């Protein structure tokens, strides 16, 4: 099935509220567990989360790793408003810093982070090379990368089946977003080609019926 790109930044109020209300607890906690298992040093490091949305992953990460500091970035102003509220409610302002910023070209230092993470951002971007370029720029020499995203199913019917299996009871706005995201996602082969072009010697692995993971330490230049 051909890729069908979707709208990039999530700044529509209805869409943002539906996303923030959705229950991603299982998948987000699994993201944190997998990250800390793959890169145990992250638990004491500085971590940047690209496309953090309402900050559920940064919060779970900070709670699971009390010595970690998390910088969480999103280009959507309404997402950042909700993220700030959630971080304040969790009393994590001292360890989770929110930045409203558009990638590429984030106003953050080269090599400034021990670990660069991202969940469900890559598929939203018109230019995946810009994403991997920013990942490489932000990670310190010897630091780690951990990225999870959807991968594109074989057909529209399979995408509908996945939405019904994973999000049957969710808001229809969220379900439509989820469907569009599956159609906009890259295949494992496409992500492998992106990584090779970016000089990142990792292979994406399939992590569930709809998720892929890219995890590794970029070579020092
Ligand atoms: C599908 S959401 C994922 C949110 C969060 N990572 C999660 O797992 O729940 C993708 C987020 O990336 C943000 N985004 C999209 N394009 C972006 C860009 N170029 N720079 C920064 N954020 C971007 C969107 O606004 C949205 O909040």
Q: How many residues does the chain have?
A: 221
Residue 7 in any domain: the answer is no
pLDDT of residue 221: 67
CB within 8 Å of 37: residues ≥ 6 apart:
none
Specify if 220 maps to a domain.
no
Q: What average pLDDT does the segment 75-92 reach?
A: 97
Residue 1 domain-assigned (yes or no) = no
- Transcribe 82-108 into DSSP letters: HHHHHHHHTT-TTTEEEEE--SSS-SS
Residue 92 falls inside a structural domain = yes
d(C-alpha 204, C-alpha 188), whole Å: 6
Residue 189 lies in a domain: yes
Asked if pLDDT for residue 18 goes beyond 90, the answer is: no
CA distance readout (Å), 27 to 24, 105, 119, 137, 210 = 6, 29, 10, 27, 11
pLDDT score of 220 more than 90? no
157 domain-assigned? yes
Total domains present in the chain: 1
The pair of structure tokens assigned to 21 is: 């209300």
CA-nearest residue for atom 10, ligand 1, is 121
15-24, 52-61, 179-188, 198-207: least confident range? 15-24
- Retrieve residue 31's tokens: 């993201």
CA of 156 to the centre of ligand 1 (A): 23
3 located within any domain? no
How many Å apart are CA 144 and CA 217, to the nearest integer? Answer: 4
Q: Tokens for 216?
A: 């590794």
Distance (Å) of CA 139 to CA 41, 143, 218, 219: 14, 6, 8, 11
Q: Is the pLDDT of residue 73 over 90?
A: yes
pLDDT (mean) for 180-208: 97
Query: Measuring from each residue's beta carbon to the nearest atom of ligand 1, which residues come in under 6 Å?
Result: 8-10, 24, 51-53, 56-57, 73-76, 79, 102-103, 119-121, 124-125
Asked, for residue 2, whether it belongs to a domain, the answer is no
Q: What is the CATH number of the domain that holds 100?
A: 3.40.50.150
Q: What percentage of the chain reaches a pLDDT higher than 90?
A: 92
Q: Which range marks the domain in which residue 172 is found?
A: 13-215
């Amino acid at each position: 099935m051909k890729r069908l790109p979707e709208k990039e930044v999530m700044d529509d109020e209805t869409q943002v509220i539906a996303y923030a209300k959705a229950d991603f607890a299982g998948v987000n906690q699994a993201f944190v567990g997998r990250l800390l298992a793959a890169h145990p040093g992250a638990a004491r490091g500085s971590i940047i989360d690209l496309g953090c949305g309402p900050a559920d992953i940064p919060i779970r990460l900070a709670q699971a790793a009390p010595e970690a500091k998390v910088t969480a970035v999103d280009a959507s102003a309404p997402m950042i408003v909700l993220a700030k509220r959630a971080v304040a409610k969790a009393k994590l302002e001292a360890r989770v810093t929110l930045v409203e910023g558009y990638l590429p070209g984030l106003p953050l230092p080269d090599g400034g982070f021990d670990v660069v993470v991202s969940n469900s951002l890559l598929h939203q971007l018109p230019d995946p090379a810009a994403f991997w370029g920013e990942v490489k720029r932000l990670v310190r020499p010897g630091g780690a990368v951990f990225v999870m995203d959807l991968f594109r199913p074989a057909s529209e019917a399979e995408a509908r089946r996945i939405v019904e299996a994973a999000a049957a009871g969710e808001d229809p706005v969220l379900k439509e977003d989820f469907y569009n995201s599956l159609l906009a996602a890259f295949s494992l082969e496409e992500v492998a080609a992106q990584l090779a072009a970016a000089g990142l010697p990792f292979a994406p692995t399939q992590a569930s019926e709809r998720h892929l993971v890219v995890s590794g330490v970029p070579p020092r230049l």
